[in-house]
Amino acid sequence: MDAATTVVPWLGWTVPVTLLCIVITLLYLYGTWTHTTWSSAGVSGPKPLPFLGNIGEINKKGFFHCLQEWGKQYGKMYGIYFMHRPLLMTTDVDILKEVFIKDFADFPDRLNANPLQPYPVNQGLIGVTGDRWRRQRHTLTPTFSTSKLKAMNKFITRCCHNLIAAMRKNTEEGKLLDVKQMYGSFTLDVICGTAFGFETNALGHEDNVFLNNVKAIFAEARVFKVGNIIAAVFPFTIPFFKWLGYSSMPKKEARFITETIRSAIETRRKDGGKGRVDLLQLMLDAEATGSEIAGNPQEKRLTTDEIIGQGFTVFIAGYETTATTLQYLTYLLALNPDKQEKLYREIVDTIGNAEPTYDNVTSIKYLDSCVREALRCFPPAALTSRGALAEKTIKGVKIPAGAGVGVPIIGLMRDEEFFPEPDKFIPERFDDENKDAIPSIVREMVFGAGPRQCIGMRLALYEAKMAVVTVVRQFKFVKVPETPDEITFRPGFALALPLRPVLVGTQLREA
Ligand code: HEM
């Protein structure tokens, strides 16, 4: 046998195997190249998988579950990865103050793990970054001033009356209260009426087209979807996904809401506003073209796409978050009849039978404590974050440029250091005489913190209080066999969406 006959077959399989090994090794290195960021900074955390980081576990068990479990296991600081993006999760108050407030200029945007943010979300406050965010935020902040909120009272009061009528009918028909369905209809009617000046009439109409579309958007609001993951891991695929018209939101429903906003804009343009002072009018008064804005970026202006993006965000955020707050507060009141009775007494003793107004609902101290405690027990958003513009060392931990600092809101709200007996509904912890024991950044963190805190916070609190005053004066909420003892959240969602509808019984108070 000569040398050639032995070498050639050997070469025949070695070359492809060697190439395959090289490709696998390179892929592995690519899929794990950032995954030592936290271990080399001395920060522990759950083991990341190549490419995916920790999102496999999050998708399976859920944000709410993982963020609580990891907090118990690793303490006030631990490192995770959204695909290749390192995220330092922390409930350390000093770090939170530094990142969210003091050094905001170094951490101005939330960490965005989705490079395929769909239109029009990518045009509004939730999606934009840097100077574009600053200009938009400046323009929109006046919408939520006290005088603007007070001006909404008449419309919200009308929605409160419709809420009572719908709840009364439900009770008289002997039905259990599907809490989210009822409050979702209320918050949708409120947000569309107060922000855009059109009526959705969702209350009392279960098959309402606006409600069905917005519900469908949230039913599909898992954070990590296959397309987003592939695009984040392999950025060269982004143009391909765009070419395919990929969207992480259900297309038909997103288009319906976009077109609803567009038609509200058209109607308003035609009627000229007629002295309106709502969000839509404020945005239209600031409308400008992209080139006008580029010529003077400091001015409070918005492009038409930005107005649509803002409208879309407010439409869906205004519906979901406040309905979630009301859902869990009602549930907690049903589970804690003594607290419910105390709240009822406080409302009646403070404002009697008066129509709720901005001034009188904000004067009921125990109401504020109950709303905040419900938000603490079940924060509508599980987490928020900030991305580092440049490398930064905080409390000895090096945070590389592009990495993020996240706050596990659910973990912070269940931290025994700030909230003893965290699993109990104890509104008194937010009473004036007790609340200073909780650092203010922790108290408020359900809405985020610093200049990028939730812009709708004051509207949400006001609207929730109007609804609670209205319903608690008229109904008792009671636990029934169908009421869950514990809430299980839908896995993969960063929002506090329960796996099954929350049902409670209702009794008319005068009955
Ligand atoms: C109980 C109700 C609500 C809760 C718990 C809530 C929670 C949050 C949180 C945690 C953030 C992130 C803040 C941060 O990163 O620091 C946020 C941002 C935001 N929320 Fe809310 N939200 C609520 C109601 C609303 C309402 C009613 C609206 C609209 C009217 C709204 C619109 C927004 C917008 C536009 C942002 C982005 C702000 C920015 O980046 O400048 N939210 N919200």
**Residue of the CA atom closest to atom 7 of ligand 1:** 447
- The mean of the pLDDT values for the chain is 94
**Residue of the CA atom closest to atom 42 of ligand 1:** 456
User: For a pLDDT cut of 70, what percent of the chain falls above it?
Assistant: 98
- What does the pLDDT read at residue 13? 79
Q: Is the CB of 454 under 6 A from ligand 1?
A: yes
Q: Is the CB of 314 under 6 A from ligand 1?
A: yes
CA 276 to centroid of ligand 1, rounded, Å: 24
Q: Is the CB of 121 under 6 A from ligand 1?
A: no
Ligand 1 pocket test, pick from 123, 223, 325, 447 with the greatest ligand atom count within 8 Å of Cβ, gives 447
**Dist. CA 67–CA 89, nearest whole Å:** 9
Using the predicted structure, report yes or no on whether residue 376 has a pLDDT greater than 80: yes
Using the predicted structure, report yes or no on whether residue 348 has a pLDDT greater than 50: yes
CA 478 to centroid of ligand 1, rounded, Å: 30
Structure confidence at residue 275 as a pLDDT band (50, 70, 90) = confident
> Do you know the residue count of the chain?
511
Cα→Cα distances 373→8, 88, 385, 436, 453, Å? 75, 27, 22, 15, 19
Using the predicted structure, report yes or no on whether residue 103 has a pLDDT greater than 50: yes
The answer on whether 454 is annotated among ligand-binding residues is yes
Using the predicted structure, report yes or no on whether residue 276 has a pLDDT greater than 90: no
Ligand 1, atom nearest to 453 Cα: 16
Reference 279, options 125, 429, 54, 394; nearest CA is 125
Ligand 1, atom nearest to 313 Cα: 35
pLDDT digits (tens, 9 = 90+) for 480-506: 999 999 999 998 899 999 999 999 999
- What does the pLDDT read at residue 9? 65
Using the predicted structure, report yes or no on whether residue 1 has a pLDDT greater than 50: no
Using the predicted structure, report yes or no on whether residue 5 has a pLDDT greater than 70: no
CA 456 to centroid of ligand 1, rounded, Å: 6
Beta strands in 288-428 (DSSP E): 383-387, 392-394, 397-399, 404-408
List phi, psi (to 5°) of 294: -60, -35
Q: Is the CB of 184 under 6 A from ligand 1?
A: no
SS3 call for 506:
strand
SS3 call for 385:
strand
Q: Is the CB of 316 under 6 A from ligand 1?
A: no
- What does the pLDDT read at residue 6? 57
pLDDT digits (tens, 9 = 90+) for 58-79: 999 999 999 999 999 999 999 9
Report the chain's C-alpha Rg in angstroms. 25
Flag whether the ipTM exceeds 0.90: yes
pLDDT digits (tens, 9 = 90+) for 157-209: 999 999 999 999 999 999 999 999 999 999 999 999 999 999 999 999 989 99
The residue type found at 511 is: A
**Residue of the CA atom closest to atom 27 of ligand 1:** 318
Using the predicted structure, report yes or no on whether residue 372 has a pLDDT greater than 80: yes
Q: Is the CB of 110 under 6 A from ligand 1?
A: yes
Ligand 1, atom nearest to 409 Cα: 10
Using the predicted structure, report yes or no on whether residue 431 has a pLDDT greater than 80: yes
Structure confidence at residue 143 as a pLDDT band (50, 70, 90) = confident
Over residues 334-352, the mean pLDDT reads 97
